[in-house]
Amino acid sequence: MKVNFGRMMLEIVKENKNKIALKNIERNRVFTFMEFHRLTNKICNMMYDRFGLREKDFFVLLLKNDNLSLFNVWTSKGWSTSTWLNYRDSLDEHLYQIDYVNPKLIFIEKAKLELYYEELSKREITIICMDKPPVGFTNVHYFWDLIQEASERETRVEYDMDEHLAVVKFTGGTTGRGKCVMYTVRTFLSAAYYQFAHSENSIDHSTKFLHITPFSHATSVYFLPIFMKGGTNYTINSPDLQYFCEVTESERITSTFVVPSLLYRLLDFDSEGNFNLRSLKMVVYGASPMSPSKLEQLQNKFGNIFCQLYGSSEAYPLVVLLGLKDHLIENGENRKIISSAGRALPGVEVIIVDDNGNEVPEGESGEIWIRCDAVTKGYYNDPENTALNFTEDGFWKSGDVGYMDDGGYIYIVDRKKDMIISGGFNVYASEVEHVLNSHPAVQQAVVIGIPHEEWGEAVHAEVVLKEGHSVIIDELSQFCKGKIASYKVPKAIDLVKELPTSAVGKVLRRKVREKYWRAQVRNIH
């Protein structure tokens, strides 16, 4: 079906013209719905008119939240494809991703310009800096100069909502590099409609939603639905707890998305009640289930305002929800329910299958498969991995092992893929192992997630050294820091004489994990 995304958004804008649509707190910028619509028109028209970007052309966003909010899904009003990079990833990771999509343009923060300038120039990529670039950086454009010259006319772009590639972004890499996930307009619209269909539907015109985690993470799934309902999106650039509390109090924020570790810290941070956070009506958390004891403390302090989401880059990222009512702890059954991931949102299919792809009986464990319009088209330029992770009839294979009870609640008990979720960020074990194994003193390394009260899982490594070699553990940590993002660097490294292996010499990662998870109720957080 053809769609004109710009026209869709304009109809919403007409209803909310002078209401505040977006507030960038750290940059002290405020846009009404009409101002924001005209700005995003200018961005799309500038790329089309000034730089000649057409359908199937890519541009890259290496931006923090305040600036990334000016683009987000709104560049779907134009022809070209947006690439969202995780701001915290390393230069090496970013260059791999940039080379993969071969973009014509990059929008970049001034703080990254010096480090990235030479490599981008070698690739002949047009550089647009969001702040005025320093003297000496030739051929770098200033974003707001370009916007001043651009037309605010309606883009009038129409394309097939299932075929046009609106956005791509990269997952963590199972083999050291991330997969490039493809998103269409249907992906984004469906994720919004599923939220609206939930019985609690906690988004309306009065919503003031604070985006504190990166837009390249799950918080992006709330931006469009809040806009569609006439609510207001607020952004800050880093998860600073004191700043979060100050903004929540001063702006009377009603909703936000966080990772559980931030909520745990919030209990201690605001133990004296120094901030008035009573405006909060919905706090969504994701990436790991909430500790029941911590949840009870949070509810005693803030009330029953918590929801848990479950999704992924491939199932954009809210397809299962544990709602407000599900978080009420009144008896043992309730306590069990809050250890679940929740129930499928209306319009989402979830099945549990065995190794042959056959559904298992209720209550039995198997791999979780998901099918809905929010499941993405697969991986860009990667038919092999697309075929491996998506079925021909539309299911995405999550890689999580779990079961479903008779109430439809989904419980995750293990993870097939070697992914660690630490503080809400995905870390693939093999990516970290690849870096450790490249150290000249390392014979072999295995990386796992181990239980951590604050982060859910912490990245942990066990390393066997080459015969006759020695190394200081801190040296290995520093070696990793130069090659991967800081959140992927192991929090602890143990030097061991040997690793458990199978008959064919494959490291038995599960055997390593068992030492750390034996006493845990759940096999993953």
Q: Per-residue DSSP letters for 133-148?
A: PPTT-TTEEEHHHHHH
Per-residue confidence (pLDDT) for residue 160, from 0 to 100: 97
**Structure tokens of 425?**
């960020």
* pLDDT of 246 above 90: yes
Q: Which amino acid, residue 211? A: H
**Mean pLDDT along residues 136-163:** 97
Residue 485 has which token pair? 């993002």
CA distance 40 to 409: 40
Quote the CA–CA distance of 187 and 221 in Å, as a whole number. Answer: 10
- Per-residue pLDDT, averaged over 87-102, amounts to 93
* CA–CA separation, 167 and 159 (whole Å): 14
Pairing mode, strands 255-258 and 208-211:
parallel
Highest mean pLDDT among 215-219, 249-253, 363-367, 424-428: 249-253
Higher-pLDDT residue of 309 and 437 is: 309
| Tens digits of residue pLDDT in 480-524 | 987 888 889 999 999 998 888 643 345 777 788 888 877 564 555
Average pLDDT over residues 55-72: 97
Class of residue 384 by CB neighbours under 10 A (exposed 0-12, middle 13-18, buried 19+)? exposed
What's the N-to-C CA distance of the chain in angstroms? 40
Q: Write phi, then psi, for 465 (nearest 5 degrees).
A: -90, 155
How far apart CA 184 and CA 162 sit, in angstroms, is: 6
Residues with Cβ within 8 Å of 396's Cβ and at least 6 positions away in sequence, in order, are 312, 314, 315, 369, 370, 371, 375, 376, 389, 390
* pLDDT over threshold 90, residue 253: yes
Residue 320 CA to residue 355 CA, distance in Å, equals: 22
CA distance 495 to 466: 11
Tell me the two tokens of residue 290. Answer: 């909430």
For residue 314, the model assigns a pLDDT of 95
Q: Is the pLDDT of residue 222 over 90?
A: yes
Q: Report the 10 Å Cβ neighbour count for 510.
A: 12
Beta pairing partners, 11: none
Map 181-205 to HEC letters: EEECHHHHHHHHHHHHHCCCCCCCC
In order of their start, the domains of the chain are 2-8+18-184 (3.40.50.12780), 347-415 (2.30.38.10), 420-517 (3.30.300.30)
pLDDT at 52 over 90: yes
CA–CA separation, 230 and 3 (whole Å):
21
In this predicted structure, the answer to whether residue 69 has a pLDDT above a threshold of 50 is yes
Q: How many CB atoms are located within 10 Å of the residue 66 CB?
A: 22
pLDDT at 172 over 70: no
Among 112-116, 130-134, 180-184, 485-489, the minimum mean pLDDT is found in: 485-489
Residue type, 501: T
What is the per-residue burial (b if ≥16 Cβ within 10 Å, else e) of 98-135? bebbebbbbbbbeebbeebbeebeeeebbbbbbeebee
pLDDT for the residue 525: 47
pLDDT of residue 289: 57
pLDDT score recorded for residue 175: 40
For residues 364-388, give the mean pLDDT: 96
- pLDDT at position 114 over 50: yes
Least confident of 139-148, 173-182, 347-356, 417-426: 173-182
Residue 255 near residue 281, CB atoms below 8 Å: yes
Whether the CB-CB separation of 376 and 187 falls below 8 Å is answered with yes
Q: Are 447 and 461 in contact (CB under 8 A)?
A: yes
**pLDDT averaged over the chain?**
90
- C-alpha span between 367 and 281 (Å, rounded): 34
Contacts of 514 (CB under 8 A, 6+ apart): none
Q: What pLDDT is attached to residue 502?
A: 47
Q: Once rounded to an integer, what is the mean pLDDT over residues 316-320?
A: 93
Q: Residue 368 has what pLDDT?
A: 96
CB of 148 within 8 A of CB of 161? no
